[in-house]
Chain A
Amino acid sequence: MTAIKLCGMMSESDIRKANELMPEYAGFVFFEKSSRNLSPERALELKEKLSGSIKAVGVFVDADESFVKELIDNGTIDAAQLHGNEEDDYIRRLKDAGIYVIKAIRVRDDESLKKAETSPADMILLDAGMGGGERFNWEMLRDFKRKYFLAGGLDPENVRQAIESLHPYGVDVSSGIETGGRKDSGKMEKFVENVRGTAGQEKAGRFGIHGGQYIPETLMNAVIELEKAYNHYKNDPEFNRELSDLLNDYAGRPSRLYYAEKMTKDLGGAKIYLKREDLNHTGSHKINNVLGQALLAKKMGKTRLIAETGAGQHGVATATAAALLGMECVVFMGKEDTERQALNVYRMKLLGADVIPVTTGTATLKDAVSECMREWTKRIDDTHYCLGSVMGPHPFPTIVRDFQSVISREIKEQILEREGRLPSAVIACVGGGSNAIGSFYNFIEDKEVRLIGCEAAGRGIDTFETAATVNTGKLGIFHGMKSYFCQDEYGQIAPVYSISAGLDYPGIGPEHAHLHDIGRAQYVPVTDDEAVEAFEYLSRTEGIIPAIESAHAVSYAIKLAPSMSSDDIIVVTISGRGDKDCASIARYRGENINE
């Protein structure tokens, strides 16, 4: 959601209107040369009438530090916004005094943007610097990385466009909601409505700026129908009972939370627990989502499942569910992946599925997804696209996340039972991000739990042979969603690489992109070498052969644990088992074995 700051509040009626509209921030100006200048006494009177849910921001131009502190201390303002030539040290001193500092920067050129990027302030506000409401060239902000308030020339008419093209953290308006130098309640209302309107009420399935439904018209009614069915069945006791029976009796849930004592002792530091999704039926977390979607599809009257697969884990899980529920199944798999994961191809065929090798593009996971989308547009009536990760158009990222969130629900119960407290960190590997979001979801509100996603860096994030989307990609639109993607300067999707077929994808799910934006989760790159070492380490140390995907998460845990204290707990999700990878890891080590 885009934050709103209504600035230059001057009268009781301005405050009343603000209390009605509930912007996140309201601004009081303390600058004698401004027509909106308030005396400290007057500001306090207004502040006392302002809703406690709206933060009051004092706007200053090269004011005495003591003046700013005084207004904070007596409760006139909750934050300080600096519009003068305040130096970084000035800002640091206010911050040290516990004051939330917003630094306004006049955007004129790249240099001012650089200054904005490196300012020590808690938040920055990018302003045309004209005061009178002139707009600066928005184009300059396209590649600007930091969170910011957009200001200067905004009004009810253009704010929607500004948000849609720039996605600022917040928007700041003053003269744009005035008529004849006074706040105009009609304009204030229109401004807020237009911001909120863009903020997700009209657009389905947004996670911050990410997500959405960027798909051909042919598929629109299919995803709308899916959303309706899901919203119905997710609250249906009969559906939930059936699903929970399948998860428990068939898939073997709950999965174990195993204390890796040898690993803990060997690394010295945080206590390490492994969430054993590898012990599920079919050998990975994929079955959680597949059983949910297959059951939903069956309730919707679909008789055929199609699915993409990278490493083959999702394909095997889908073929399994289709066999169990008596449905037809077609799995699309990059030709290259059918070669590196030949065993899984055989398993799928054994389960009665058709496996179609995809030869287009890079012949890997992304091409399998594209081919599934093409297939779905050909045949919608009887077919459900059983998407395997928290990606694609809405409602898939939500549906898959909900079905996978059983992982973190169990972790939470299990760790509380074992240790009586929450873990310090939860670590999972991220391709599209389904096991990671499943592992994170029920901890998102527990701010003390660090959430760490491990991306496949391939041969390194400074090479072209990588699949580390958050670390090397940029915002884009692909496979039905807005999120981060590895791409070139013209938006052509990059051919990514990882030793792990399951993480070898140029994008990341939109909810992860959002968790990254708001700083709630951290995404770290792990190279092929590091993952293979972790694969071998866990096998030797704990007698558990993890999937090479999961080994990325193990690798980061090996790095992190020694830096933490023995009071800390790390939970690492072992998303799948590594039998499928033995031949290719042997090859990586220069040994050829027959499968």
Chain B
Amino acid sequence: MSKIYKAFLDKKAFIPFITCGDPDLDTTKEIIRELEKNGADLIELGIPFSDPTAEGPVIQGANIRALSNGITTDDIFEMVREIRAEVTVPMVFMTYANVVFSYGIDSFFARCAKAGMDGIILPDVPFEEKTEFECYAERHGIDFVSMVAPTSEERIERIAQNAKGFIYIVSSLGVTGERSSINSSVKELVGKVKKSAKVPCAVGFGISTPQQAAEMAQIADGAIVGSAIVRIIGQYGKDAPYHVGEFVRSIKSAYPSF
């Protein structure tokens, strides 16, 4: 079992997302330090992909910035290995199927394990296609995180029962990105997932303010914030770590006590 469960132990988890190499890997490291220092319970690290079809414009932009700096998957493994010596917070990768497939699925997860990663999120690998990836992830002790969407309906039970690490609940239709309000049906969706789930669940997509994050953490076991943080990084570049830290602190202080 990976360390992911620790993120949810005795607390509501706050899960920030950043894209590795945006604007450069040294800044990414610094941001990871700030995230941990300011109370992130689990960190989602994006490995950039040229054509991220599940992302809105903000995270697409981060992917382009990172790739135009020549960042590669190997560079990211190396960065993670280095930062792992300093931080203990559980970390998962978020990337696309082809990044893992082209690396060699087995080699990819072997490197994940060596670097000290705990899980993987692949938004373009649904339940039906996951075995190809999950069997290798499992071999190397990496949790393959499953996603549930508002359209999942009768699929929820099967997905939730077989989920590892935690379940990523997609709050609303569409791609990643900040939304001014989140549909009230999330609560119902979380309820359905919880009925079958053996692992914790966290809500993501569209969560951009401390209030929204707190509200989602109240409903589920945790909340995931991506675009709002990536936007700050896009805005401040190398100076982003401090601003990201501030933002995370404001979210954590709005968080419900367990």
Contacts and interface: CB of A to CB of B under 8 A. Distances in A.
A442 interface: no
B124 A215 contact: yes
B128 A493 contact: no
A475 B104 CA distance: 11
A38 B51 CA distance: 57
Contacts of B128: 202-204, 212-213, 220
A interface residue count range (under 10 / 10 to 19 / 20 to 34 / 35 or more): 35 or more
B237 interface: no
Contacts of A491: 49, 73, 98-103
Interface in A454-494: 474-480, 485, 487, 489-493
A475 B97 CA distance: 12
A203 B56 CA distance: 29
A371 to B, nearest CB: 9
Query: In terms of DSSP, what is the predominant structure of the interface of chain A?
Result: mixed
Tell which of B96, B102, B125, B127 has the most Cβ of chain A within 10 Å.
Answer: B102
Interface in B144-163: 146-153, 155, 159
Given A164-B132, A477-B101, A220 B51 contact: no
A480 B72 CA distance: 23
Interface of A: 138-139, 142, 160-161, 164-165, 202-204, 212-222, 360-361, 366-367, 370, 373-374, 377-380, 474-480, 485, 487, 489-493
Closest 8 CB pairs of A and B: A491-B102, A378-B174, A218-B149, A477-B97, A491-B98, A492-B50, A217-B149, A217-B147
B98 A477 contact: yes
B80 to A, nearest CB: 16
A216 B50 contact: no
A476 B155 contact: no
B175 A493 contact: no
Interface residues of B, number: 49
Interface string B79-121: 0000000000000000011111111111100000000000000
A320 B105 CA distance: 44
A370 B103 contact: no
Given A361-B51, A491-B103, A221 B126 contact: no
Nearest to B97: A477
A139 B104 contact: yes
A220 B49 contact: no
B235 to A, nearest CB: 20
Given A203-B128, A221-B152, A373-B53, A490 B147 contact: no
Contact of B60 (A165, A214, A360): A360
B127 A165 contact: no
B9 interface: no
Contacts of A161: 135-136
Contacts of B159: 217
A212 B104 contact: no
Contact of B151 (A138, A213, A380, A479): A380
Contacts of B153: 221
22 contacts: A139-B106, A161-B136, A164-B132, A212-B129, A214-B97, A215-B124, A216-B124, A217-B146, A219-B151, A220-B151, A220-B152, A221-B153, A360-B60, A366-B51, A374-B54, A374-B174, A378-B173, A380-B151, A489-B102, A490-B72, A491-B102, A493-B98
Contacts of A160: 131, 135
A2 to B, nearest CB: 14
Contacts of A213: 126, 128-129
B173 A377 contact: yes
B98 A487 contact: yes
Contacts of A377: 54, 173-175
B73 A490 contact: yes
A374 B67 CA distance: 21
Nearest to B56: A374
A488 B132 CA distance: 22
B148 A217 contact: yes
B228 interface: no
Nearest to A218: B149
B72 to A, nearest CB: 5
Given A222-B151, A378-B173, A480 B51 contact: no
A164 B99 contact: no
A98 B97 CA distance: 44
B155 to A, nearest CB: 7
Contacts of A374: 53-54, 56, 174-175
Nearest to A164: B132
A367 B51 contact: yes
A177 B68 CA distance: 51
Contact of B53 (A203, A379, A479): A479
A57 B98 CA distance: 38
B123 interface: yes
Interface in B45-63: 49-51, 53-54, 56-57, 60
Contacts of A221: 151-153, 155
B170 interface: yes
